[in-house]
Structure 1
Amino acid sequence: MSHILVTGGAGFIGANFVLAWLSDKSADGVINVDKLTYAGNRKTLASVDDDPRHVFSQTDICDRAALDELLTTYRPRAVLHFAAESHVDRSIHGPAEFIQTNIVGTFTLLEAVRAYWSGLEDVAKADFRFLHVSTDEVFGSLGPADHQFSETTPYAPNSPYSASKAASDHLVRAYHHTYGLPVLTTNCSNNYGPYHFPEKLIPLMITNALMGKPLPVYGDGQNVRDWLYVRDHCSAIREVLARGRPGETYNVGGWNEKTNLDVVHTLCDLLDQFKPKANGSYRDQITFVKDRPGHDRRYAIDARKLERELGWKPAETFESGLGKTVQWYLDNQPWVEDVMSGEYRNWVAKQYAA
């Protein structure tokens, strides 16, 4: 059986990718590598536990020996690198883990993959791909009238998280130009959708609203993000893997610029429609909290290169994707309750104490 190897495949985007990939019964097998930190959840993958094409390995990408063994055993035709510490707020409180996973981990993975790829036969070597999944946050912050981020926008990261992801992007690029490793890089905008850990804006607002808790909005709520439904992101990654040009970078965006306050208002209105409160609106729970340090004002992705070269466009509008997301959280409360551990609750209490 032919395989692909996916790192971070129990996290939000990685798990959605694995589930979408394996929904195609003719697809390659998946070697799913995840350290299972707080945001990795095996229960997200419950529907593929009995699929013989899915092999799960609880492995740290900083463990070179374990990576070598997996690559030698399964001989994947591609490696898709989702694994990362991924939350700006957590990187502010504890940057060391971000340096270790996002920089050292990516370097260790690249070294293991380079050694494996170098030993492949000519045809397999030419067909092999290493796809690195990154973020628009590496480009820094935009002003209200600035053009969206393109693939040629200079890097200007403003948080330990985005700086660590920028470093990983540069390593991936260097391994292509120095060693010839056939790499692809995608830089995506803010994802949302099923199985999202409830510290991020959209799932946090949904879970707090349903629990009758305050809906904390940073600063004035006017920070702008471009929102991308996670299943659309997964379809873009499949297109880049199949037809992207080695060495190229592709921006993946949803063409949905919204202020944080607009997002929260829309969520409240959807919840008012899907699960009305006995009295009043969920908007009544909105509260403004002290802005976080170094909070970038605006992100926006220009995804025209991906559309022009590979014909990809998002299938969901913000409204349709958000409606599906809210309905998923309403239908899957046991999953939400399971991931809301004491560690998570303690972190939220500290983060939004002001």
Structure 2
Amino acid sequence: MRSPAPVHGAENHWRGRRVLVTGAGGFIGAHLVRRLGGCGARVHAVGRRVRESTDGETWHVADVADEGAVRKLVDSVRPEVVFHLASEVAGARDPKLVLPMLHSNLTGVVNLLTAVTGAPGTRVVLAGSLEEPRPEEGDRAPSSPYAVSKWAADGYARMFHHLWGVQVSNLRIGMVYGPGHQDTRKLVPYVALSLLRGQEPELGSGTRELDWVYVDDVVDAFLAAGQTPDAAGRAFDIGTGTGTSIRDTVELLSEIVGGRTRPRYGALTDRALDSARIADPAPAAEILGWRPTVGLEEGLRRTVEWFTREGR
């Protein structure tokens, strides 16, 4: 998959820099590693299994929930910037997910921030989520074990910054989609593949509004946060600022794919505590100089073209 052109100034900024990317084998992580490699960074990619280097990156196998493994990794790489994307991602309202989310998501963040504390100049950018309750929402309860793990991680990040000067920022990312996303538990891959195969996707009511953001735009946001000194100690919404209902998104996918297969709305029960999650992109525009550039229809077309080309 060909990488888009680097954001303005990114190639010069990242050339030769030591960068650590956790969760590098995931959807966003793979795109980020590819882009950093194209910018000339010295990329150290972290995953749970060995992978073949495709863009000149060095691979490390480590579990971020293992404190010793994280400290050893940070000490050996001595990264100038850490992009922390390693995470368990599941929106189910299942009590069995509480401990796995705590262990993988929150413990991993604390291990990483502890390991870089006292390392002068090291910047950390966390992959958060728009599912996190925001301060202006008052007492809104987190909607899932995943959401509360990300919410608590942001709290730890602010503490590490204000108490010990860790240069950390948090990107609260909207609903990411795009080429290369093969997790059929997620809406866009599931619906696109179902329609391409002539199968009826089974959905809930489809009324929930979400902020869809294209993966290349998300990578741009990570690069911007990683090179902006004023990002430290802050959290930024990464999305378009526009809500689109699940039903409208699915109908747009149906139009792009074509064919006679129709989605089955109401086949599934809507999840508890679901609400519209729309970004406020103004702080990211003001401080990071970041704005999304790919509209939903264009992004979905690129995604369907990728699935078609890959023969999924």
TM-score of the aligned structures, taking structure 2 as reference length: 0.87
Deviations 1:274-296 (A, max 9, x none): xxx4xxx23x2434223243241
SS at structure 2 position matched to 1:289: coil
Name the structure 2 match of 1:109.
112
SS at structure 2 position matched to 1:131: strand
Name the structure 1 match of 2:238.
252
Deviations 1:135-160 (A, max 9, x none): 01012xxxxxxxxx7x7554641211
1:17 and 2:32 equivalent? yes
C-alpha contact 2:210 2:245 (8 A) present in aligned 1: yes
Alignment of 1:183-198 (within 5 A): 183-196=168-181, 197-198=183-184
- Give the letter aligned to residue 131 of structure 1: V
Q: How far has the Cα of 1:244 moved from its partner?
A: 4.4
* Alignment partner of 2:194 out of 208, 227, 248: 208
Q: 1:14 to 1:292 in 2, by over 3 A?
A: same
1:56 and 2:80 equivalent? no
Aligned residues, how many? Answer: 294
Q: Which has the larger radius of gyration?
A: 1
Distance 1:172 1:105 in 2: 12
Name the structure 1 match of 2:253.
267
In the alignment, structure 1 segments of 5+ residues that lack a partner are: 140-148, 337-354
1:331 and 2:300 equivalent? no
Q: Which has the higher helix share?
A: 1
Distance 1:223 1:250 in 2: 22
Distance 1:91 1:108 in 2: 25
Give me the identity figure in percent.
Answer: 27
Distance 1:244 1:95 in 2: 34
Q: Which runs of 4+ in 1 moved over 6 A?
A: none
1:243 and 2:228 equivalent? yes
Deviations 1:69-116 (A, max 9, x none): 2222221101111111112027565332111101122212222222xx
C-alpha contact 1:182 1:247 (8 A) present in aligned 2: yes
Q: 1:21 to 1:92 in 2, by over 3 A?
A: farther
- Give the letter aligned to residue 320 of structure 1: E
Alignment of 1:24-63 (within 5 A): 24=39, 27-35=40-48, 42=51, 49-52=53-56, 54-63=57-66
Name the structure 1 match of 2:277.
299
Alignment of 1:35-184 (within 5 A): 35=48, 42=51, 49-52=53-56, 54-89=57-92, 94-114=97-117, 118=118, 120=119, 125=120, 127-139=121-133, 152-154=136-138, 156-184=141-169
In the alignment, structure 2 segments of 5+ residues that lack a partner are: 1-15
Distance 1:310 1:168 in 2: 21
Distance 1:89 1:59 in 2: 26
Name the structure 1 match of 2:296.
318
* Alignment partner of 1:223 out of 201, 205, 208: 208
SS at structure 1 position matched to 2:202: strand
Distance 1:242 1:152 in 2: 27
Distance 1:199 1:58 in 2: 25
Deviations 1:236-271 (A, max 9, x none): 111111114121221111233111111111001100
C-alpha contact 2:128 2:172 (8 A) present in aligned 1: yes
C-alpha contact 2:191 2:201 (8 A) present in aligned 1: yes
SS at structure 2 position matched to 1:94: helix
Q: How far has the Cα of 1:307 moved from its partner?
A: 1.1
C-alpha contact 2:71 2:112 (8 A) present in aligned 1: no
Distance 2:241 2:309 in 1: 28
Q: 1:241 to 1:153 in 2, by over 3 A?
A: farther
Name the structure 2 match of 1:342.
none
TM-score of the aligned structures, taking structure 1 as reference length: 0.78
